[in-house]
Chain A
Amino acid sequence: QSALTQPRSVSGSPGQSVTISCTGTSSDVGGYNYVSWYQQHPGKAPKFMIYDVSKRPSGVPDRFSGSKSGNTASLTISGLQAEDEADYYCTSYAGSNTWVFGGGTKLTVL
């Protein structure tokens, strides 16, 4: 399985919005509505932020939203806050009990 493609880095100022893309194929992102997103601060375990493309688990602020079009999923963070600075990873189910991760995106809050 090839990794999903994410931008290496994105940045934004406090209060602004940023979008992180996650591009796969029709065998993973495009074939299933099972894209999820994880936030990881340095030295910490990943934290579950979005599942099934656009659903938010309880406790995740509604500033975080997910979407998908074709083979590309996106995570949008609105009203950026300093604590949002972290690495973000997408993953997609790819059938037959397999998952594929994106390479990760470093979000910098300027």
Chain B
Amino acid sequence: EVQLVESGGGWVQPGGSLRLSCAASGFTFSSYALHWVRQAPGKGLESVSAISSNGGSTYYANSVKDRFIISRDNSKNTLYLQMGSLRTEDMAVYYCAKVGESFYFDYWGQGTLVTVSS
């Protein structure tokens, strides 16, 4: 059974940093691209960042470029999102999602809440 379990969310002041993790199991981690998707309170889903299966290719939404860094450790089956210079508009539930055989997200974690406020 595929499982994605996010952790690392919490409260942080504007300008602060946080690192999210997503522990994966139930599939060959190193064979699939992964994605971070966020959802602000009462809002829709937003693609934040993506990383290829070997980590060699990454993508960032314009809203987080130069502030967030996505990475993965295929030896630990874990995906990361290092978030810096956090803003109130970054407050959201952050989901990690596995990219399927083509361009879709077939499994999602339960999400971790990031609160940015003073």
Contact = CB atoms under 8 A, between A and B. Distances in A.
A110 interface: no
A48 B107 contact: yes
Contacts of B110: 45
A51 B45 contact: no
Contacts of A3: 44
Interface in B83-111: 95, 100, 102-111
**Range of interface residues on B (Cβ < 8 Å):** 20 to 34
Contact of B35 (A52, A89, A99): A99
A104 B47 contact: no
Instruction: Find the residue from B45, B102, B104 having the highest chain A CB count within 10 A.
Output: B104
Contact of A102 (B35, B44, B109): B44
Contacts of B52: 97
Contacts of A38: 45, 105
B111 A97 contact: no
Question: What bracket does the count of chain A residues touching chain B fall in?
Answer: 20 to 34
A57 interface: yes
A101 B46 contact: yes
Contacts of A91: 45, 47, 104-105
A95 to B, nearest CB: 10
A86 B62 CA distance: 29
B118 interface: no
Contacts of A51: 100, 102, 104, 106
A93 B111 contact: no
A91 B61 CA distance: 15
Given A45-B108, A91-B45, A98-B59, 12 more contacts: A36-B105, A45-B109, A46-B45, A46-B105, A46-B108, A48-B104, A48-B108, A91-B47, A97-B58, A101-B37, A101-B46, A102-B44
Interface of B: 35, 37, 44-47, 50, 52, 57-59, 61-62, 95, 100, 102-111
